[in-house]
Amino acid sequence: MHVTLPDGKQLDLPSGATALDAAKAIGPRLAQDALAATANGDLVDLMTPLPEGASITLITKKNPGDAAAVFRHSLGHVMSQAVGEFYRAKGHGDEAIKRGVGPSIENGWYQDFDLPEPLREEDLPDIERLMREIIGRNLEFSRREVSKAEGLAQFPHDPYKQELIQGLPDDEPITFYQQGDYVDLCRGPHYPSTGRLPGAFKLMSTSGAYWRGNEKNPILQRVYGVAFATQKELDEYLHQLEEAKRRDHRKLGRELELFTIDPLVGRGLPLWLPNGTVLREELAAFLKEQQFRRGYQGVITPNIGNLELYKTSGHYQNYSDSNFSPITVDDEQYMLKPMNCPHHVRIYASKPRSYRDLPVRLAEFGTVYRYEQSGELNGLTRVRGFTQDDAHLFCRPDQLKKEFLDVLDLTVLVLKTFGMNDVRFRVGVREAGNSKYVGDEANWAAAERQIIEAVEEVGLPYSIEPGDAAFYGPKLDFVVKDVLGREWQLGTIQVDYNLPERFDISYTGEDGAPHRPIMIHRAPFGSLERFVGILIEHYAGDFPLWLAPRQVMIIPIADRHNEYAEQLRAELHEAGLRAEVDDSSNRMQAKVRTAELSKIPVMLIVGDKEQEGRQVSVRERSAEGHREEKGVAFDDLKARLLERQRTRA
């Protein structure tokens, strides 16, 4: 057999040769340094036979990060061995420890266990210590293929392994990996030995998990670990986790009194508190201002609709898992609104339209309801009732490109306004052979082509994701990276030839005949709830002045300055700024500290000198730190703050 190296050279090897054989053929030093390989782009270990004619790349200790998924998987096996030794030391036999699956995942791995007694969080350091001992033994990983009968005989007391092996096809090779006395059913790949695994790992947590994700099955104990090629990468990751905890929108939402979720109201149904309502309304006002400039018309639609509406649109059939059950009223059935678009289609259809009337741009901050499983609910970012900044544009074919580009420009403007500049663009198209997509083949092809042409015209980098389209049309998603490096799918734009067809809407063309409009669906924020949750974490609650629910806190140094402070508050309030006075009996430093904890961006401190000169001392906070100014003319400061608010700086 032969394999091809990255430089195009070919190696002739014996049939069934492994990546280690390839490394030895190149040189003994490479064989000593090799950790894993890729074959035709897939990670493989040094023990697995290579496919005939494979293009291979050898991964060495110079670039161990390229084999991250391999060393994380191997560390999962080391952890599993350590857990066995931990319970053996407590007097339990090996047959008492049963294991489910244990894959590598992003940044680490997990392993599911059925244990004779629960593993506690405080036991994790002991498991880590045992893992480091196993790594120090430098145990070789070995691979062997076995028959199904041999596989079943290896795990006579483990029903989970038995079930996995029984489910494998008879003609599929079954592979075991072993290090020391630990053997497991596994496809691999693995490192050559435990001694070559990186020491930059940490066990993070345990949780319950249903076997194979089915709530009818037993609950196993899942142990999570993380690992990186270097200690620096691990330290950075752990720091990022701590920063994520500090920025957690659920924690900050409670501390800053932005929202609450009350079990008596219902899980996944946020209640917006006064401070959060200010934030939400500022976002809506910003977008409504942009929409007004671009010729949108506002509409309002009900929170429920006749079931036939959603059957016609296809949402009832195609989103059955996420719809709430229909409600029977008299002799009709209604549904909590899962989407705004069919309502907007009916508004379009409420009167005859001429080609001169198009484009029609209908916009609504419309609340919709989707069923989410309880375990998936998460603060504001995963809810059951949320408000979309929805708009639907009805246009002629000759208007489609211009309208799409304008929506694209609007969405990019929205993201830049909030400092979300690290964005990638994802074009979701149909997946070949998938029956979920409805409509004419030619229309789908046209819509996909038009989205790609528009993105290319403005020079945006994009990826094409088959299977990511909505059931009625392709889309462009905006995937944003926040300050912690996490990706969020926010805005979306969709081109739709199908809903106009399903609802049989039209406009009268220049020729006097009816023509079918094309729809554009768009939502720059996506949903207000999710967007606010992400914003809270992006800013760590330190909102810019225009967004901050509490903008200015005036702090009188002594009681005799309260009247002056109240006068300034009234003037700021009259000018449209949200200002308060802390006239409590606390000392000035305590008042400053209280305003700091409330993340109020501007503090104005007033005493005798300030009162005499109609001045203030200014203390401003932001995520970057503090800035202080003394003896600032109040009128100048007010003008400055109003300009920042007007420009949404």
Catalytic sites, residue numbers: 341, 370, 388, 390, 392, 475, 521
CA 390 to chain centre: 20
Q: Pairing relation of β-strands 552-556 and 602-606?
A: parallel
How many C-beta neighbours within 10 Å does residue 393 have?
27
Residues whose CB is less than 8 angstroms from the CB of residue 243 and which lie 6 or more positions away in sequence, other chains included = 484
Structural element, H or E, at residue 442: helix 441-457
Quote the tokens at residue 309: 């509406």
- Confirm whether residue 186 is marked as ligand binding: no
- Print the SS3 string covering 385-403: EEEEEEEEEEECHHHHHHH
Rounded CA separation 589/597 (Å): 12
Do the beta carbons of residue 282 and residue 577 sit within 8 Å? no
- Confirm whether residue 392 is marked as ligand binding: yes
Rounded CA separation 633/597 (Å): 26
Quote the tokens at residue 262: 């009350």
Rounded CA separation 468/426 (Å): 9
Q: What angle do CA 643, 648, 649 make, to 5 degrees?
A: 80
Burial class (CB in 10 A: 0-12, 13-18, 19+), 69: middle
Rounded CA separation 591/580 (Å): 12
**What is the three-class DSSP state of 61?**
coil
Which residues does the annotation place in the binding site for Zn(2+)?
341, 392, 521
